[in-house]
Chains A and B, each alone.
Chain A
Amino acid sequence: MHGLPTNLEEALLGLVREKLFEGGAPLTVETDLFAAGLDSMGIMQLMISIEERFGVRVPESAVTRDNFSTASSLAAMVRRCAAPA
């Protein structure tokens, strides 16, 4: 898992804020991103941004509501994607 930041949850939250949500949105690592307005386009954009920022490949099977529901669950998914097979 080389290359992933130590505080991956916060890094992902920063990415979510930067790419998808208005700057003042009150988001935490446990905020329900779907309740906050995450939609089809946002999920796709987030998936591509994660791949580009963290150098991991997110397989289609990993793009689920559970994995994309919070920054915490995203972090767990990214760690799994980065782990050696």
Chain B
Amino acid sequence: MTPSPSRAKLRAPLGGCDCYLLALEDLMERSGQGRHVGVTVLEVGRGFEVERLREAAARLAESQPILGAKLQRGLPGAVPVWRGDQTAEVAVEIHPAGGDWRGLAEERLQGQWPGRLRFDVCPASEGFVVLMSWSHLLLDARGVELALAEVARLGEEVPAKPEVNSHALPFARHRSWWQEFRAVRPFLERYWSLRSGRVVSLGGAPARAGRAFFKAVRFSREETATMKRRADPVTGGIFALPWFLAVTMRAHAAVFRARGQESGSLECTISVQGRKRGARGPIFQNQVSQLFFARPLPDPASVENAARALHGQFAAMTRDKFDGAFLVMIDWMRRLPAPLYRRFLRREASGQLASFYHAHTGEFLPGLREFCGAAIVDGWHVPSVPQPPGTGLFFSEREGRLTASLCWRDGVLSADEQALMLSAMRADLLGTQ
């Protein structure tokens, strides 16, 4: 095992995004929705070595003291911190062959397991399905993949690079209040302009309990290639974000139409990475900013037109440095007492700002071919979405195959509505009816 010199001294203040997610988890727990967790599904081939995973997980726990740290909120006005010197156990549980790994993944999505990271290994017909369950307080989607890459590295006999456990904040601080105010202004202006419309979500405004569910739709390489050819005239082959957001908005709008409800003001916050490309860390810290998109009005008649309109919003927000403005804003908010932060978030999350969740996390584990002795066949993420808004549509790719995960809370989508949403999604992606 690799002892960390910083082991007994961990004191890691939560970043702005960590505090945002802490407030969201508070809100979820108070309404009986459990913790804000996710499950990442990793399919590997034959030759997978469970003992190698056990050893790597133990090394990870030893080298990353934050996994065993306790959250301390401190006095009002203080930034919450992770503190501790205990080694966490990162559980690795083997399940019998022939079991229902999808049901197990759904069980893990409820968040009723100890710790902040665990693995479940399920033998499958052509290899194994490895479920990595994780707490959103420590990991965003990129962090999840960095953690998997770190486990793969620690599963090697001789780790070639030092562990990564930095908790540096992802952006430069400004020198004065005036500079900070100027930096945050694009966020405030867009935030208030978006609030002028009545925003709706399929789950409705009240936060309420309900199990988290998901359905994964796996597209073949041929289908994925067809989708790319179809999207290329709009995306230029490089702008996936507005295209997949348009698909997600229209899939939600289809359900609103089927309910006979007005869906005029669909809005969505899209997470964008703060880490630089090629970075190995920090692993256990949320480093995302958000962009706030609104559904183009009047309703575009095609996914192409919707994507073009959203592309315009994307370009405008990037020019205004909206992502940086949001980071400054949530950095300010780190010192908000928990009840005040929840109050802010309830206003935001009660269907007034986010109509659904969505992300396209790009290529899954790019550059990593093997995991604990076996070839990686495929992988994707399944987050538990809070209610409200109660639904989310997430995409990722692995070696030319797209996977879509539809996530919802119990009572938000009927079986017919799930089918309708997925059918609308397929129609827009593939150009079929």
Contact = CB atoms under 8 A, between A and B. Distances in A.
A21 B276 contact: yes
A36 interface: yes
A20 B277 contact: yes
Interface in A63-82: 63-65, 68
B40 to A, nearest CB: 19
B238 A40 contact: yes
A20 B273 CA distance: 11
B3 to A, nearest CB: 25
Interface in A11-44: 20-22, 24-25, 34, 36-44
Contacts of B431: none
A72 to B, nearest CB: 17
Contacts of A41: 241, 272-273, 318, 323
Given A40-B314, A44-B315, A48-B318, A63 B238 contact: yes
Contacts of B272: 41
B239 interface: yes
Nearest to A35: B366
B397 to A, nearest CB: 11
Given A40-B239, A41-B272, A43-B238, A22 B279 contact: yes
Interface residues of B, number: 21
Nearest to A45: B318
B319 interface: yes
A44 B235 CA distance: 12
Most chain B Cβ neighbours within 10 Å, of A36, A40, A44:
A40
B237 interface: yes
Contacts, number: 58
Interface in B348-378: 362, 366
Nearest to A27: B278
Nearest to B273: A41
Contact of A37 (B241, B242, B277, B319): B277
Contacts of A63: 236, 238-239
B345 interface: no
A13 to B, nearest CB: 14
A41 to B, nearest CB: 5
A44 B277 contact: no
B277 A65 contact: no
Contacts of A20: 276-277
A68 B238 CA distance: 9
Interface in A43-58: 43-45, 47-48
A39 B366 CA distance: 13
A47 to B, nearest CB: 8
A40 to B, nearest CB: 4
A25 B239 CA distance: 23
A43 B276 contact: no
Nearest to B319: A48
Interface string B237-255: 1111110000000000000
Nearest to A46: B318
A36 B367 CA distance: 10
Contacts of B279: 22
A43 B239 contact: yes
Contacts of A43: 238-239
B237 A65 contact: yes
A38 B277 contact: yes
B276 A44 contact: no
Contacts of A25: 277-278
A63 B139 CA distance: 32
Most chain A Cβ neighbours within 10 Å, of B236, B239, B314:
B236
A60 B238 CA distance: 12
13 contacts: A22-B280, A36-B277, A36-B278, A37-B278, A38-B238, A39-B362, A41-B318, A42-B277, A43-B238, A44-B314, A47-B318, A48-B318, A63-B236
Interface pairs A-B: 10 shortest CB-CB: A37-B277, A40-B241, A44-B318, A22-B278, A25-B278, A22-B279, A65-B237, A41-B272, A22-B276, A40-B239
Given A22-B276, A39-B241, A40-B242, 13 more contacts: A21-B276, A22-B277, A25-B277, A38-B238, A39-B362, A41-B323, A42-B277, A43-B238, A43-B239, A47-B318, A63-B238, A65-B236, A65-B238
